[in-house]
Chain A
Amino acid sequence: DQQVKQNSPSLSVQEGRISILNCDYTNSMFDYFLWYKKYPAEGPTFLISISSIKDKNEDGRFTVFLNKSAKHLSLHIVPSQPGDSAVYFCAAPLGRGNMLTFGGGTRLMVKP
């Protein structure tokens, strides 16, 4: 059973506009959530996190929102840039050693 889900496999946005990537989860016991960005020839890199006791965390152009009642989080990128084109994964710690479980990923394409 996939506990973290990203239902949109891809998203296309015009440069300068807002990108919104969504993630749903089923386990209400997650302590925090992470977003990773992955370029094709590289490993995933950490982008931003949010604690389960918060509803918003902001870092520059990136903001993550958490709606615990809906078990939903979203990553907003404003303004979107062509260099943001990548696959974005949401993740949450599960079980021993903070082992992470990942969503399926959303491929973001930002068009110039």
Chain B
Amino acid sequence: SAVISQKPSRDICQRGTSLTIQCQVDSQVTMMFWYRQQPGQSLTLIATANQGSEATYESGFVIDKFPISRPNLTFSTLTVSNMSPEDSSIYLCSVEDLLRGRGGHYGYTFGSGTRLTVV
């Protein structure tokens, strides 16, 4: 399975500022996915990042608020811009991966997450 290094692991930020989250994968992958998990909620897909093209955003998420970079096949960043307390969440990057175990299905391998608190 792919190994993803995500940083920072946590941060406390002032409202109105921006935070950039980085994800490094130990292998080349075509697509990287960025998720958000708000407190007590499930995982919600923010956007899909392809190398060499603009990210594709899901309904309710816009590029101005969550700009994404994908400079190569092993790296991506997500920026949370002009933050407000409502942006306090766990942000996760993931890649499509052939999962271990019986069945051999494709799923996601996730980074360890970034816990963001906006004050």
* B-chain residues with CB within 8 Å of residue A42 when the two chains form the complex: 112-113
For B111, the chain A residues whose CB sits under 8 A away are 43
The distance in angstroms between the C-alpha atoms of A104 and B113, with both chains bound, is: 18
Asked whether, in the complex, the Cβ of B110 is within 8 Å of the Cβ of A98, the reply is no
Interface residue total, chain B, C-beta cutoff 8 A: 29
Question: Shortest Cβ distance from B45 into chain A, in angstroms?
Answer: 7
Q: Please indicate the chain B residues that have their CB under 8 angstroms from the CB of A100 in the complex.
A: 45, 107-108
> B43 contacts which of A41, A44, A98 (Cβ < 8 Å)?
A44
Question: Are B110 and A43 in contact (CB-based, < 8 A)?
Answer: yes
Across-interface contacts of B9 in A (CB, < 8 A): 41
Give the A interface residue count (CB, 8 A). Answer: 26
Contact check, B42 vs A89: say whether CB atoms are below 8 A apart: yes
> Are A97 and B48 also in contact (CB < 8 A) when A34-B99, A42-B113, A43-B111 are?
yes
Q: Could you give, for residues 27-44 of chain A, a 1 whenever the CB lies within 8 Å of some chain B CB and a 0 otherwise?
A: 000001010100001111
A57 and B107 contacting across the interface, CB-CB below 8 Å: no
Residues 29-67 of chain B: 1 if any A CB is under 8 Å from the residue's CB, otherwise 0? 001010000000111010010000000000000000000
Q: A2 to B68: give the CA distance in the assembly, Å.
A: 26
Q: Which residue of B lies closest to A94 (CB)?
A: B45
Tell whether B92 is near chain A: CB-to-CB under 8 Å.
yes
User: Distance in Å from the Cβ of B68 to the closest Cβ of chain A?
Assistant: 15
Asked if A14 is at the interface (CB within 8 A of a chain B CB), the reply is no
A48 CA / B101 CA spacing, docked (Å): 7
A-facing residues in B90-119 (Cβ within 8 Å): 92, 94, 96, 99-103, 105-113, 115
Return the 4 tightest CB-CB contacts between A and B, nearest first: A43-B110, A49-B105, A104-B42, A49-B103
